[in-house]
Structure 1
Amino acid sequence: MKRITKCVALVAAAGAVLGFAGPGGASATGPDLLDWADCSGPGLDPRQQCATLDVPMDYSDPDSPEIRIAVSRIPSEKPSARRGALLLIPGGPGGDSLADPSGKGQKLPQSVRNAYDLVGFAPRGMAPSTAVDCALDPADLGVTKLLPWPAPDGSVDENMATARRTAGACARKGGELIRHISTANEARDLDRLRAALGEDKISAWGVSYGTYVGAVYSQLFPHRTDRIVLDSNDDPDHTRVTRNWLAAFEVGVEDNFPEFATWASRPGNPYRVARTPAEVRSGFLRLAARLDRDPLPWPGANPPRLDGNALRQTMLSSLYDPDDYPALAKTIRAVREGTAPPVPETPPESVLQNVTAVGVGTICNDVDWPDSAAAYQKDVAESRAAYPLTAGMPRGPMVCAAWPYAPREPAVRITDRGPSNLLLVQNRRDVATPLAGARKLRRALGDRAVMVTVNSTGHDAYLANGNACGDRAVSRFLATGVRPARDLYCD
């Protein structure tokens, strides 16, 4: 789910604190239809403007009620050089990009900021757009509940019970909107936004789950696309969708843990936990097993104990960015001494409820999930044997195993039909969107795309955890339209 481990922090920092200084509304066609007003909220660039856009809740029903999508922008910094609008498509599902024109958008080179209005948005269901909420029991909002970490013996019985509770709450409290939250509908909303912006074509920079949104948009509206950058790419398999993204964690962790182990065993490192990378790995596995048997009290955490799965989740979260390695090392050292580390700060419960509802709606409405506990149990056992660091979680039953609704339409199949205007950028070692999945998207797109593979570690490549070579290739494409002549490896 943004994976769930990161999206709540993004929402807390962006859309959840963003307000509007004035109302706005728009129909869905024609130029200059958004009623822009000043934004309010901490840390925003004073140039950032906000508006709202009305879109149908149900695109298949001409009489569908409308919902509102919150939108933000910073206009081109050089109108004479303006090319159009660049959509900043967030990760998730359960993230928004409302603050991104003021945030990561300002890391873009001047040539790109001159060429485009930078446009953010809160996807349908995400506050301050028309929002959904499942009113879950707070105990079910913990990350080790939302992600299907199995019991110490590998059982998925508790995961299935959590799925039934969560799905039932969303069916009762999520309202009609939760049934219409999907990637395809987000793409349709973006095309309404394109039209309301007065653009014949739109450019985009999609990150993580946003790469799937960008690919689906490019499939549904191929001739409305200008320059599309997909950064940290999801496997596009339309028969499995999020099931494959969850499963990818077992490969992603194996791709990335050796980097942590090398760092954590380096002489002179003040956070060193072992003498060799092999000892880091074996020590981590022993420590997780010890916590499975004898958890530590962890007051203020959800749940309030540091068990093996809480340690594994800390590991998974820390592998998103090498800057987070010290957090994992400090946790390992604290647990060895019989103490729990400080509880990580979490967003307010209202934000967690909203993020979870959007994530649940998207992943369960995009594709049907099996409902057989026995099938999940078999898959989890196989995963535990092959990938002990993730203990079977990537093949476990999420809430969709008990989702009461069938998908309203088939998931969009990504193909090689359409303009050749996509650039993929992908770190070689990415715990959340591994290189193996990016290569599948690259093959599916065929001659429509070129991929830049970056010899770097961490999630999010462009202007984040990548390298100068990859950043130059993406910046050049956005500013000039020139892509590498063929797939490029940036060492």
Structure 2
Amino acid sequence: MLAGCVSPPTRWAAPMSGDPAPSGSASAGVTPPTWGPCEGYRDVPNVTLECGVMKVPQDWNAPVQGKTFDIALLRARSSRQSQRIGSLVVNPGGPGGSGVDLAYYLSQGLPNEIVWKFDIVGFDPRGVGKSSPVECFSDEDLDTNFGFDPDPVSDAAFNELVALTRRMAQSCGDKYGDQLPLFSTEQAARDMDAIRAAVGDEKLTYLGYSYGTLLGATYAQLFPTKIRALVLDGAVDPTISSVASSEGQAKGFERAFTNFSTWCASNAGQCPIAPDARAAATTALAAARTAPVGQTGGRRATAGWVFTAIISSLYSETRWPDLASALSDLQRGNPKGIFELADSYAERDAQGKYSNLFDANLAVNCADDDESITVERARQLQAEWRVKYPLFGASSALNLVCAQWPGKRDPYPAGKAEGAPPIVVVGTKGDPATPYEQTPALAAMLGVGVVLTWEGEGHTAYPQTSCINKAVNDYLVSLKVPPAGQSCPAR
């Protein structure tokens, strides 16, 4: 399950004031979905799957008849459902992850206490997947971008990356122009309220992962009285700047890699690069810069692909053995494991075709960020963060697509959810992508947030242990709020 691949740029924005309903009501310009069969999904035992598409205004602030986006939906309903509470709307993060796919997987993966009480409803946010998708990056440019050195030191290499990312940004501007700010998080949060109304729920019950916590927090500020229960897992702090968010992620991945290295040294039987995983990774990146290993078909495991494989594996502790094996195989001239890890992250298929995950990711992130870093400042931070965060700092500084984004911006609100019920904010101590420090920050910003901590590793927590499951299930089903400061052990 994709639970958020890139931590979104964030910044402070003034709290919303007044009632947003006149321009953001769920009835204005909305065509309710007609439910029918789901194409491309296997049947799930004891679950009925229904899919549909609803039309929403492109701009909730100024709806214009005929100017709409399609929002794709999937609803999963257990045949064992009894005493139904309503719908649980879900989002996997990214931004760019498919909520339609997530609902399908969660219909098989959530605890029975949930699937027997709720319809599981997923949606692809505007611009994502099947929902009027943003598609402006070529497969060739994405290959070059992912394969590019994550830390281009020379001016020539850096300028080459600047030119590539400028071309990518401009390709979106050329295709979408004035539409680009309409893919913002605030617009998507208003779509969520239309979905709530379309499934017949008076109030929203929501489970959001990673970037999905930002989407949920934005909804909470816009529609605080329309909330039944919100679980925000893998919290994003909306109050910090995009630079601070990127640095936090660099720190988080360094911490996660250190934890991986410690595991490797203590589990040499499962880790063929023991005892020093960090040295193995550093050596692999250095070798890939000068003599990248090739495979049949001409593809070469450059430093960018090795780096992407490392990033991919740190989202879940279960992938640590895969990373160790991939780096070990690479030492022996076999890059297959590196490409498997990297391609799973990039959503690249065997034919070199990409989903629109990263097109949407950048469209949303750049639309949200009204204080994007400049190219010159990125170059300065690259040198500074390389010292502070040796593996991940330089790359984290290089948000060069948004630095050159041609579209206008639409920043989301960052303030209290006045009038909302308690909202459960879940954080994982070993989370690399949304570092734990953001969990209490988001809870405090909302004013009604209740922190639930998992002492585990990886990105997001629910449903991974019985302690986390019980706390979240009790809240979703019975609205029983976890006690303040509750912490769940790693196992």
Report the TM-score when normalising by structure 2. 0.85
Deviations 1:220-240, CA, capped at 9 Å, x for gaps:
111111110011111222643
Q: Residue 127 of structure 1: CA displacement?
A: 3.3
**Residue type matched to 1:90 in 2?**
P
The answer to whether the Cα contact below 8 Å between 1:148 and 1:394 also exists between their aligned partners in 2 is no
Q: How do residues 148-297 of structure 1 correspond to structure 2 at under 5 angstroms?
A: 149-153=150-154, 156-174=158-176, 177-237=179-239, 239-240=241-242, 243-267=243-267, 269-275=269-275, 279-297=276-294
Instruction: Name the SS of the counterpart of 1:482 in structure 2.
Output: coil
The answer to whether the Cα contact below 8 Å between 1:31 and 1:199 also exists between their aligned partners in 2 is no
Of 315, 326, 329, the residue aligned with 1:331 is 326
Q: Residue 351 of structure 1: CA displacement?
A: 6.7
The 2-side partners of 1:403 and 1:382 are apart by 24
The answer to whether the Cα contact below 8 Å between 1:299 and 1:305 also exists between their aligned partners in 2 is no
Report the TM-score when normalising by structure 1. 0.85
**Residue type matched to 1:121 in 2?**
F
The 1-side partners of 2:152 and 2:101 are apart by 38
**Residue type matched to 1:62 in 2?**
P
Check 1:223–1:351 CA distance in 2 against 1; reply closer, same or farther (3 A cut): farther
The 2-side partners of 1:198 and 1:49 are apart by 15
Alpha-carbon RMSD across the aligned residues, in angstroms, is: 3.0
Of 322, 325, 333, the residue aligned with 2:317 is 322
Check 1:139–1:247 CA distance in 2 against 1; reply closer, same or farther (3 A cut): farther
**Residue type matched to 2:474 in 1?**
R
Instruction: Name the SS of the counterpart of 1:73 in structure 2.
Output: strand
The alignment covers a number of residue pairs equal to 460
Q: Does 1:340 align with 2:335?
A: yes
Q: Residue 486 of structure 1: CA displacement?
A: 0.8
The 1-side partners of 2:440 and 2:143 are apart by 32
Check 1:124–1:165 CA distance in 2 against 1; reply closer, same or farther (3 A cut): same
Q: Residue 280 of structure 1: CA displacement?
A: 2.2
The 2-side partners of 1:191 and 1:150 are apart by 42
Q: Residue 194 of structure 1: CA displacement?
A: 1.1
Q: Which residue of 1 aligns with 2:476?
A: 478
Q: Which moved more, 1:172-181 or 1:147-156?
A: 147-156
The 1-side partners of 2:162 and 2:55 are apart by 37
Q: Which residue of 1 aligns with 2:61?
A: 60
The answer to whether the Cα contact below 8 Å between 2:146 and 2:305 also exists between their aligned partners in 1 is no
Q: Which residue of 2 aligns with 1:122?
A: 124
Q: Which residue of 1 aligns with 2:428?
A: 427
Check 1:401–1:330 CA distance in 2 against 1; reply closer, same or farther (3 A cut): same
Q: Which residue of 1 aligns with 2:23?
A: none
Of 476, 486, 489, the residue aligned with 1:488 is 486
The answer to whether the Cα contact below 8 Å between 1:238 and 1:411 also exists between their aligned partners in 2 is no
Check 1:114–1:2 CA distance in 2 against 1; reply closer, same or farther (3 A cut): closer
Q: Which residue of 2 aligns with 1:461?
A: 461
Instruction: Name the SS of the counterpart of 2:272 in structure 1.
Output: coil
Q: How do residues 402-441 of structure 1 correspond to structure 2 at under 5 angstroms?
A: 402-407=404-409, 409-415=410-416, 417-441=418-442
Q: Which moved more, 1:342-351 or 1:206-215?
A: 342-351
Q: Residue 300 of structure 1: CA displacement?
A: 5.1
Q: How do residues 394-405 of structure 1 correspond to structure 2 at under 5 angstroms?
A: 394-405=396-407
Q: Residue 133 of structure 1: CA displacement?
A: 1.3
Q: Which residue of 1 aligns with 2:141?
A: 140
The 2-side partners of 1:311 and 1:79 are apart by 46
Q: Which residue of 2 aligns with 1:313?
A: 308
Q: Which moved more, 1:353-362 or 1:174-183?
A: 174-183
Instruction: Name the SS of the counterpart of 2:99 in structure 1.
Output: coil
The answer to whether the Cα contact below 8 Å between 1:157 and 1:373 also exists between their aligned partners in 2 is no
The answer to whether the Cα contact below 8 Å between 2:178 and 2:408 also exists between their aligned partners in 1 is no
Q: Which residue of 1 aligns with 2:14?
A: none
The answer to whether the Cα contact below 8 Å between 2:81 and 2:115 also exists between their aligned partners in 1 is no
The 2-side partners of 1:227 and 1:148 are apart by 43
Q: Residue 339 of structure 1: CA displacement?
A: 4.1
Q: Residue 393 of structure 1: CA displacement?
A: 0.7
Check 1:338–1:145 CA distance in 2 against 1; reply closer, same or farther (3 A cut): closer
Instruction: Name the SS of the counterpart of 1:117 in structure 2.
Output: strand
Q: Residue 485 of structure 1: CA displacement?
A: 2.5
